Structure 1
Amino acid sequence: MQCSYFDAHACRSCTLIEVPYPDQVRSKEDRCAELLSDHPGLEWLPTVRSPESGYRNKAKMVVGGTAAAPTLGILDACGRGVDLRGCAVIAPGVRDVLPALAWFVTRAGIPPYDVPRRRGELKHVLVTESPTGELMVRFVLRSRGPLDRLREHLPALLARAPRIAVVTANLLPEHKAVVEGDVDVPLTERTTLAMPLGGLTLDLRPQSFFQTNSHVAGQLYAQVARWVDEVAPASVWDLYCGVGGFALHCAAPGRRVTGIEVSAEAVESARHAARDLPDVRFEAGDATRFARESTEVPELVVVNPPRRGIGPELAGWLEDSGVRHVVYSSCNPDTLAQDLRAMPSLRAVRGRVLDMFPQTNHVEVAVLLTRGG
């Protein structure tokens, strides 16, 4: 994949961009196989490949420059804005709306946040695209000051970019290296974005996590559902469930499915998507605490933790619990291998690499674990 930003050293985030894509995939396969080499008999299924470009359904754009001439992209080493509106890994539907968003910043007269000087208002613009083509846009602000201007000029933005369905203002008053704050102020009547995947429709709220690559995410959910159906458990826990992707895809008549997620926003999204499924329930809470405090043990547990992995406490509980099967979906093969070493009674029998993040060293890998045998 060719990228003028990379060639000009304006952005070097795609660290593997100069490596042919088949070689990228082979390297990720070899890395995962080596990390899990202490599981003899592990069957690796064919890798799920991604489009090499245009795969990111979400753009997290730092806003720089001035209200009259904003940049949407990243900051350089001096804190100046670097415009990346043409980024090739961002989905075309997201890229297409970025000029309208820059125009809107100018029209509404919202000064970008100047990181070195710690002044200004607009820190980030976050854009997510549904497989339907609809968009969610979130303006991350330093304060509530620009809200009236956002509301005043929003009709002009929606007329210019009619695929925008959900708009919020996120408040991040602190000066710290995070993308968003804890509070979102709705600016449109709609507050959720429908995300249809694999015959199901998930509901995405502003602060809910969703997989970055819709193409690969659909195949990830389908693969996990096939493994779950293969062992046919009567009860399933989906820990770190997010908006319920795995739980909903694993639902079946007579199968009790429980999803646990720390984000209350995500749980509300999951509950809405499961409103017609009486055997599926979702609760907000810490996954490890839920497992340790539960008086029941399910027949199968799905875990999809952040990059840090599930950690020794939950791994220890899974090892001692007697649960028969675990499906572990990981975005960090190193912490996956570390967690599996803490669960020696559970052996990996199936594995699949899913290239969720082409042009980078990041990779998703899913494994089916079975106790003993």
Structure 2
Amino acid sequence: MNAAMQCDYFDRGACRSCTLMGTPYDVQLAAKMAHAREVLAAWPDAVWLPPMTSASHGFRNRAKMVVGGTSDNPTLGILDSTQHGVDLTGCGILSAGLRAAFAPITAFISRARITPYDIPARRGELKHVLLTQSPDGDLMLRFVLRSTEALGRIRKHLPALLTDLPQLAVVTANLLPEHKAVLEGDEEILLSGGESLAMRLGSLVLHLRPASFFQTNTEVAAGLYAQAKAWIDEVAPRSVWDLYCGVGGFALHVAAPGRRIHGVEVSAPAVESARLSASEAGLADVTFAVGDATALSAGDIPDAIIVNPPRRGLGDRLCAVLEASGVPTIIYSSCNATTLAQDIAAMPAYAPQRIRLFDMFPQTDHSEVMVLLTRR
């Protein structure tokens, strides 16, 4: 656990995304804890629980690979300073299942003659390969294309890829016609398999649709959900809101007989996934709606609220709604301790009781911090 991870890509300067690469894991963790404690020092009475650690390598369940090179010799990885491809298919923080899938995918790109997109020239078709692995080892593969030009060839050669990679449960083409620095477009075309990847966490199955968000570290995500469930069970609320609910991870895990759960999420595919998971689990009292969490009013206040916002935090409007709500318990899960501290300060009616760091992102200075807040 304490040994430093070695990475050839990092050592030769090909990729520096893992800013803490080469730093012993215990040193990384201590620095993250020190930073979180410093940022949240305004609440000295809060109890800090032991951090949840992670495997230092092979922990990522999702790869976002930029495609470079040529159709004869494609690269999957990142782009260098000249906007040309750098192959990272041996990246050590990716799961073994992801790394093993890249060779068949690369061969498929050549076989189907899919031209990688050339950013400086603004020509070509294949922009990204997005690959996700479930806890059961199944894969969801997404080809991000500039147009439908290659779809016929992709469909023609897809059976051979499915033979080479039988663990492919979902294959789609995503269309991103615009020349801009985004990962994916709005249109998704199902090519093979079902509409979602089953992410099994214990007794629950979360369904992940192509455009939905899921934590990149499955083991630590399970720990995050388990901690939220423990805190919710402790206060035993009859009703819970899950804001920024995504595919329903928190909502589904804190469900219990006699407890009403309602999740709100702006992504319609994520809400569809969450509803499917709740239906399969027989959780009739768990509901989800498409909506903007920041637009909520303070009416019909539940007994507890879980919030898991993006890095920018809750923002002034939602903080004001929560501050005025009177809800007894808030669980705040954050991937940015700085905005977490700002939001807590904007809700002076609430005091942190317990804080726990979850090392979701080893080899970087990022982490997830979850706080149990109670009304004063």
For normalisation by structure 1, the TM-score amounts to: 0.98
- Match of 1:281? 287
- Match of 1:43? 47
Q: 2:246 is matched with which residue: 238, 242, 256?
A: 242
- Match of 2:139? 135
Query: 2 CA distance for matches of 1:100 and 1:195?
Result: 23
Question: How much has 1:36 moved relative to structure 2?
Answer: 1.0
Instruction: Report Cα offsets for 1:121-161 as digits up to 9, x if no partner.
Output: 00000000000000000000001111111111100000011
- Correspondence 1:181 to 2:195: no
Question: How much has 1:37 moved relative to structure 2?
Answer: 1.1
- Match of 1:154? 158
Cα RMSD (Å) of the superposition? 0.7
- Match of 1:207? 211
- Match of 1:343? 347
Q: 2:71 is matched with which residue: 55, 67, 71?
A: 67
Q: 2:81 is matched with which residue: 77, 84, 92?
A: 77
Q: 1:92 is matched with which residue: 88, 96, 104?
A: 96
Percent same amino acid at aligned positions? 59
Query: 2 CA distance for matches of 1:189 and 1:66?
Result: 28
Q: Is the 8 A contact 1:203 1:272 kept in 2?
A: yes
- Match of 1:17? 21
Q: Per the alignment, in what secondary structure is the counterpart of residue 260 of structure 1?
A: strand
Question: How much has 1:198 moved relative to structure 2?
Answer: 3.0
- Match of 1:52? 56
Query: 2 CA distance for matches of 1:248 and 1:52?
Result: 28
Query: 1 CA distance for matches of 2:331 and 2:367?
Result: 17
Tell me which stretches of 4 or more aligned residues in structure 1 moved more than 6 Å: none
Instruction: Report Cα offsets for 1:303-335 as digits up to 9, x if no partner.
Output: 001111111110111111111110000011111
Query: 2 CA distance for matches of 1:69 and 1:187?
Result: 24
- Correspondence 1:269 to 2:273: yes
Query: 2 CA distance for matches of 1:108 and 1:165?
Result: 20
- Correspondence 1:190 to 2:194: yes
Query: 1 CA distance for matches of 2:105 and 2:211?
Result: 20
Question: How much has 1:336 moved relative to structure 2?
Answer: 0.5
Question: How much has 1:40 moved relative to structure 2?
Answer: 2.7
- Match of 1:322? 326
Q: Is the 8 A contact 1:47 1:354 kept in 2?
A: yes
Q: Is the 8 A contact 1:54 1:91 kept in 2?
A: yes
* Range 11-20 or range 52-61, more displaced: 11-20
Structure 1: 5+ residue stretches without partners: none
Q: Per the alignment, in what secondary structure is the counterpart of residue 228 of structure 1?
A: helix
Q: 1:364 is matched with which residue: 357, 362, 368?
A: 368
Q: 1:123 is matched with which residue: 123, 127, 133?
A: 127
Query: 2 CA distance for matches of 1:295 and 1:145?
Result: 50
Structure 2: 5+ residue stretches without partners: none
Question: How much has 1:191 moved relative to structure 2?
Answer: 1.5
Question: How much has 1:218 moved relative to structure 2?
Answer: 0.4
Amino acid corresponding to residue 163 of structure 2 in structure 1 = A
Instruction: Report Cα offsets for 1:74-100 as digits up to 9, x if no partner.
Output: 000100000000000001100100011
Counting only pairs closer than 5 Å after superposition, residues 215-226 of structure 1 correspond to structure 2 as 215-226=219-230
Instruction: Report Cα offsets for 1:227-268 as digits up to 9, x if no partner.
Output: 000111111000000000000001011111000000000000
Query: 1 CA distance for matches of 2:251 and 2:345?
Result: 26
- Match of 2:313? 309
Instruction: Report Cα offsets for 1:261-309 as digits up to 9, x if no partner.
Output: 00000000000000111111000110111x22x6300111100011111
For normalisation by structure 2, the TM-score amounts to: 0.97
Query: 1 CA distance for matches of 2:292 and 2:363?
Result: 33
Instruction: Report Cα offsets for 1:152-211 as digits up to 9, x if no partner.
Output: 110000001111110000000111111111111000141111001132110010001000
Query: 1 CA distance for matches of 2:287 and 2:125?
Result: 40
Amino acid corresponding to residue 211 of structure 1 in structure 2 = Q
Amino acid corresponding to residue 19 of structure 2 in structure 1 = T
Query: 2 CA distance for matches of 1:345 and 1:34?
Result: 21
Amino acid corresponding to residue 158 of structure 2 in structure 1 = L
Amino acid corresponding to residue 316 of structure 1 in structure 2 = A
Question: How much has 1:38 moved relative to structure 2?
Answer: 1.1
Q: Per the alignment, in what secondary structure is the counterpart of residue 49 of structure 2?
A: strand
Instruction: Report Cα offsets for 1:14-63 as digits up to 9, x if no partner.
Output: 10012211010001111111111111311111110000000000000000
Q: Is the 8 A contact 1:198 1:222 kept in 2?
A: no
Equivalenced residue count is 370
Q: Per the alignment, in what secondary structure is the counterpart of residue 51 of structure 2?
A: strand
Q: Per the alignment, in what secondary structure is the counterpart of residue 192 of structure 2?
A: coil
Q: Per the alignment, in what secondary structure is the counterpart of residue 185 of structure 1?
A: strand
Q: Per the alignment, in what secondary structure is the counterpart of residue 374 of structure 2?
A: strand
Query: 1 CA distance for matches of 2:208 and 2:346?
Result: 34
Q: Is the 8 A contact 1:43 1:349 kept in 2?
A: yes
Query: 2 CA distance for matches of 1:310 and 1:167?
Result: 34
